[in-house]
Structure 1
Amino acid sequence: MAVPTDKIVDLASALVMTPVPAGNWLVVLPVALCIALGAVLLMLRGRVSLHAYVAIPGLALLVLVDALLLWKVATDGPVTMVMGRWLPPFGIAFTVDLLGAMMTLAAGIVALAAGLYALGDVPLVGRRYGFFPFLLLLMAGVSGAFLTGDLFNLYVWFEVLLISSFGLLVLGSESEQIDGALKYAVLNLVATTLFLVAVGYAYAVFGTLNMADIAGKSAGLGASAPLITISALFLLAFGMKAAAFPVNFWLPASYHTPRVVVSALFAGLLTKVGVYAMIRVMGMMLPVEREELSLLIALLGALTMIIAALGALAQSDIRRLLGYAVISGVGAMLAGLALGSPAGISGAIFYALHSMVVMTALYFVAGEAAKLAGSFSLRALGGLYRQNGAFAGLSLVLFFAVSGLPPFSGFWPKVVLVKASLDVGAWWLAGAILLAGFLTTIAFARVFLLAYWRPRPLAAAGADSGEAPAIRLSAALPLAILAAIVVGFGLFPEGLLRLTGSAAAGLQDPQAYLQSVFPGGGE
């Protein structure tokens, strides 16, 4: 059918008509860079020896891009890019605020550290199976999840990172890895299905999946829509992704099975994507429903913290112990979300950033301890302090940090969360945070006493031949970088506290976020 050519159609209400500022391309560049680099590595699949030379500089460039994005958001406020120039809610939006920018930068740092560590941890056969392409695909999914402004797009990025994590988990094809991958896959697919159901339910109620659009509409719907049901579905789906009690049993059953660098990546990134999604959806889009479910979230957070800390005390394998430490940290983040105050949300964000760095570093420590002593078991470990005093000192710094002891990065978010709990009269939640920290301190003190301080068990010492290997540069460098971050934000937390406080305020009053998506104020 012919269309009259003499009629002028105004597209300004549906399309972006002005040129996009150059700085706004930083919003999508992290995802585009990871996908492009992954494609280059696939084209170089016949020359696996070149993969590291492409991936490591690419990950360093990703950290630079993420840092520039954080600087832009901190300076100019939330930034939005839309696909195909279609304005929201017609087009899919990438919208980044302080929360998304900080999480993206922390993820980039973790990925770069993992890439460096992989130089000595992933053998040639692992690289032939595609370690570096999978790593870049994982980072595309993680970055996309932190940067998207659309619920269905968030589901898509969850699927991207899930597919890549399957590939990393079975790298090597050992029977233990296949067993762990099966447990990991089944539970995460269930969580993804629940997430998709919740997304469909939300679309039926709101008529849109744009996060800013839902945030603007949710308060006006009130009791006329089943928002509590939708919120409970999101809470369950993201709780499974984050490994919160009582759906956390898949994590300690699977995170100890892959190579150390893969476990470190998972501990630093995957559960934090679930926590981020929970904070974004419950904290910004459905704040009234979060308030209604706050007691339930607080109870789940307290149980997650304490039960996981007790689980860590019961472990003799360092990797399993670290899996429970990951879960315990998720409980502290849930406590901040349950409080819902600016201080509570700020503490949860700070703790998430701290956990991303410190848990990655702790898995590296476990890997190097096993290389020095030949085992991950506390029954066989011993004498590590005598073998390498500098490594023992660095390990002790990280043990203090994960336990929430001063003067390291884990201390400040716990202080903020305890004070926020006491401010609203939730003394029992403050007590749970302190108890979990105490139990975690005992668990890691036990690791240090058995693996580092006591002499090497005679049976294990007798099996040694020659001198113990030194710490490799490929492990020492990323450990030093991550430990420096832990110490730096422990001694000088003010800047990060300001950023997390501003991020929390932006979630509670998302007008700047909404204005970025809908500059004219319309929907």
Structure 2
Amino acid sequence: MAGSSVSVDLSQAMTVTPVSAADWLVVAPSILTLLGGSLCLMTRKNTDAQPKVGLIFLLLLVLANIGLLARVLDQGVITMVMGNWLPPFGIAFTVDAMGATLSLIASIVALCAGIYGSATVGKTGRRYGFYPFLLLLMTGVSGAFLTGDIFNLYVWFEVLLISSYGLLVLGNDRIQLDGSVKYGILNLIGTNLFLIATGLLYGVFGTLNMADIAGKVAELNGGASGTLATIAALYLLAFAMKAAAFPVNFWLPASYHTPNVVVSAVFAGLLTKVGVYALIRVFVLLLPGARAYMAELISVIAIATMITGAMGALAQSEVRRLLGYLVIAGIGSMLAGVAVGSTLAISGAIFYAVHSIIVMTALYMAAGLMGLLGGSYQLRELGGLYAASPAFAALFLVLGFAVSGLPPFSGFWPKIMLVDAAFGDGRVWLASAILLSGFLTTLAMGRVWIYAFWRGGPEGTADGTATARVVASASAGSPALWLPLGVLTALVVFFGLQPEWMLQLASRGASGVIEPLGYLRSVFGGM
């Protein structure tokens, strides 16, 4: 009847109560980085202002993530849905302990990279977008860690990949273009596989909300059907490419040594870890039955990734290439946690991801200092760095111990957790591979320290003679280089000597994805 009105209960489909101001912390990381990237882009011709604007927003990002993690630890899993539409209709940001922890560590690393870049990225690099690309990269990284929608995980992957392409070619050298082609092709293939798998998943469940998918999979007793196993296999291949797992890891050592060393540091610290995070989120939260079905395959991939990464590092004579292989070896250790799938194993994988983000970023920054002090990245051309800077030699030794998993530094605890979990699950070969990988990594890092720091000069010179060359680069003494490196090394020491806080965070994060009742309640209320 014309003019009549029908009463509609919007509370069944939409949130009608005001959103708490504190809940805006859920989207603050993405909003801050988008705003900061836009301002940097608008002021790109003012190369002196670029670092200031970029660092202000990176600092705000760290503060926002601290507040977000504190709220998650206090309130539990937090969900915010776009447009007030209730799940599964609205696009959800759902933040648990694992996502909030990784987002905070990633923001700290990005701030350190921004400070380091202020000394290593020249005016040309600033003009062509180092700080806008860095901030937009963090938009994608933060979004990936905080989203509760599987399709939007794909979208945030695209955001960070587009930004990473810009950072990779910054400088326009021939070797950078060569590395970017290899990087781009493999990631393009992985992205398409990700999208295909997500389309198939939507076809099966009719939803893209992670909590909704997890609930429906639970109704299927874990989802071990052939259809879901096929979808899981596509996700495994896609995320293995992005995480640089065997046998689709050859793009990483072929590309990570090509850009400015601060770009390599950000890539080594963050990009592959987003791939590992996606594996944990999809295989443990969404498709636990498929994970159990494919556990043996994931174990084989983990072992091959660890051993090939560590042996590749031993074979390298260029420091940045060597570090690229160590990134790969660390990915294998995290995959070992996914293969076992217990609370202890996933806790170890999360702790190891935090450790790897910090230590690999710091090692690439240290490699940049080695290049400035020694005038080369080739081990045969380096030497005498201990005499040039004993403090730097000690710092590099700490990082070498940490990446090898030796006490008393951050890499020791997650490796112990992963080995314990593997033995507890009866996977002796997996535990042995973790220990062997650590031993080979120790040899590789010891070789770097002996060649670059301990001996008196480059190859062909007598130790302690005047012919031992050390290039005293003026920029090598910049506080902008030493401050971020010192902060990251201090975190490595802190998490090694005082691991309780990170152990608790990792355990809470693992429990949240293995037993996702709190995750589902956050999204769907008391249902």
Alpha-carbon separation, structure 1, partners of 2:69 and 2:471: 49
Out of 370-379 and 471-480, give the one that drifted further: 471-480
Secondary structure of 1:89 counterpart: coil
> Residue 344 and residue 123 in structure 1: after superposition, are their counterparts in 2 closer, same or farther (change >3 A)?
same
**Paired residue for 1:517, among 502, 512, 523?**
523
When normalised by structure 1's length, the TM-score is 0.97
Do the aligned partners of 1:82 and 1:92 also contact (CA within 8 Å) in 2? yes
> Residue 518 and residue 471 in structure 1: after superposition, are their counterparts in 2 closer, same or farther (change >3 A)?
same
Secondary structure of 2:251 counterpart: coil
Query: 2:480: which partner in 1?
Result: 474
Shift of 1:457: 2.1
Kindly report which structure 2 residues correspond to 1:309-320, keeping only aligned pairs within 5 A, or say none: 309-320=310-321
- Note the alpha carbon deviations across 1:63-104, whole angstroms, 9 max, x for none: 111011011101110000111111111110000000000010
Shift of 1:220: 2.3
Secondary structure of 1:407 counterpart: coil
Shift of 1:471: 3.0
Shift of 1:465: 8.6
Query: 1:324: which partner in 2?
Result: 325
Shift of 1:153: 0.4
Query: 1:272: which partner in 2?
Result: 273
> Residue 107 and residue 465 in structure 1: after superposition, are their counterparts in 2 closer, same or farther (change >3 A)?
closer
Shift of 1:45: 2.4
Query: 2:120: which partner in 1?
Result: 121
Runs of 4+ in 1 over 4 A off after TM superposition: 2-5, 222-225, 458-470
Do the aligned partners of 1:205 and 1:225 also contact (CA within 8 Å) in 2? no
The alignment-based identity, stated in percent, is 60
> Residue 84 and residue 4 in structure 1: after superposition, are their counterparts in 2 closer, same or farther (change >3 A)?
farther
Secondary structure of 1:352 counterpart: helix
Shift of 1:426: 1.2
Secondary structure of 1:12 counterpart: helix
Secondary structure of 2:380 counterpart: coil
When normalised by structure 2's length, the TM-score is 0.97
Query: 1:251: which partner in 2?
Result: 252
Secondary structure of 2:504 counterpart: helix
Indicate whether 1:498 and 2:497 are aligned. no
Shift of 1:6: 2.3
Do the aligned partners of 1:37 and 1:54 also contact (CA within 8 Å) in 2? yes
Out of 241-250 and 450-459, give the one that drifted further: 450-459
Indicate whether 1:13 and 2:8 are aligned. no
Q: Which amino acid aligns with 2:519?
A: Y
Query: 1:446: which partner in 2?
Result: 447
Indicate whether 1:484 and 2:485 are aligned. no
Secondary structure of 2:94 counterpart: strand
Alpha-carbon separation, structure 2, partners of 1:358 and 1:23: 32
Do the aligned partners of 1:219 and 1:288 also contact (CA within 8 Å) in 2? no
Shift of 1:106: 0.7
Query: 1:168: which partner in 2?
Result: 167
Shift of 1:428: 1.2
Alpha-carbon separation, structure 2, partners of 1:15 and 1:104: 28
Kindly report which structure 2 residues correspond to 1:122-141, keeping only aligned pairs within 5 A, or say none: 122-141=121-140
Query: 1:237: which partner in 2?
Result: 238
Alpha-carbon separation, structure 1, partners of 2:224 and 2:245: 28
Query: 1:343: which partner in 2?
Result: 344
Query: 2:82: which partner in 1?
Result: 83
Query: 2:413: which partner in 1?
Result: 412
Indicate whether 1:51 and 2:50 are aligned. yes
Do the aligned partners of 2:349 and 2:414 also contact (CA within 8 Å) in 1? yes
Secondary structure of 1:47 counterpart: coil
- Note the alpha carbon deviations across 1:337-356, whole angstroms, 9 max, x for none: 11100000000000000000
Alpha-carbon separation, structure 1, partners of 2:402 and 2:156: 31
Query: 1:217: which partner in 2?
Result: 216
Do the aligned partners of 1:387 and 1:468 also contact (CA within 8 Å) in 2? no
Secondary structure of 2:325 counterpart: helix
Shift of 1:46: 2.9
Secondary structure of 1:408 counterpart: coil
Query: 1:184: which partner in 2?
Result: 183
> Residue 482 and residue 20 in structure 1: after superposition, are their counterparts in 2 closer, same or farther (change >3 A)?
same
Shift of 1:23: 1.0
> Residue 468 and residue 185 in structure 1: after superposition, are their counterparts in 2 closer, same or farther (change >3 A)?
closer
Q: Which amino acid aligns with 2:506?
A: T
- Note the alpha carbon deviations across 1:394-425, whole angstroms, 9 max, x for none: 00000000000000000000000111111122
Indicate whether 1:508 and 2:483 are aligned. no
Secondary structure of 1:252 counterpart: helix
Query: 2:101: which partner in 1?
Result: 102
Alpha-carbon RMSD:
1.5
Shift of 1:246: 0.5
Out of 38-47 and 447-456, give the one that drifted further: 38-47
Q: Which amino acid aligns with 1:59?
A: L
Query: 1:290: which partner in 2?
Result: 291
- Note the alpha carbon deviations across 1:242-273, whole angstroms, 9 max, x for none: 00000000000000000000000000000000
Alpha-carbon separation, structure 2, partners of 1:277 and 1:459: 48
Query: 1:359: which partner in 2?
Result: 360
Q: Which amino acid aligns with 2:411?
A: G
**Gap runs ≥5 in structure 2:** none
> Residue 5 and residue 109 in structure 1: after superposition, are their counterparts in 2 closer, same or farther (change >3 A)?
farther
Do the aligned partners of 1:15 and 1:87 also contact (CA within 8 Å) in 2? yes
> Residue 224 and residue 389 in structure 1: after superposition, are their counterparts in 2 closer, same or farther (change >3 A)?
closer
Secondary structure of 1:417 counterpart: helix
Out of 423-432 and 135-144, give the one that drifted further: 423-432
Shift of 1:48: 2.4
Shift of 1:219: 2.6
Alpha-carbon separation, structure 1, partners of 2:525 and 2:219: 20
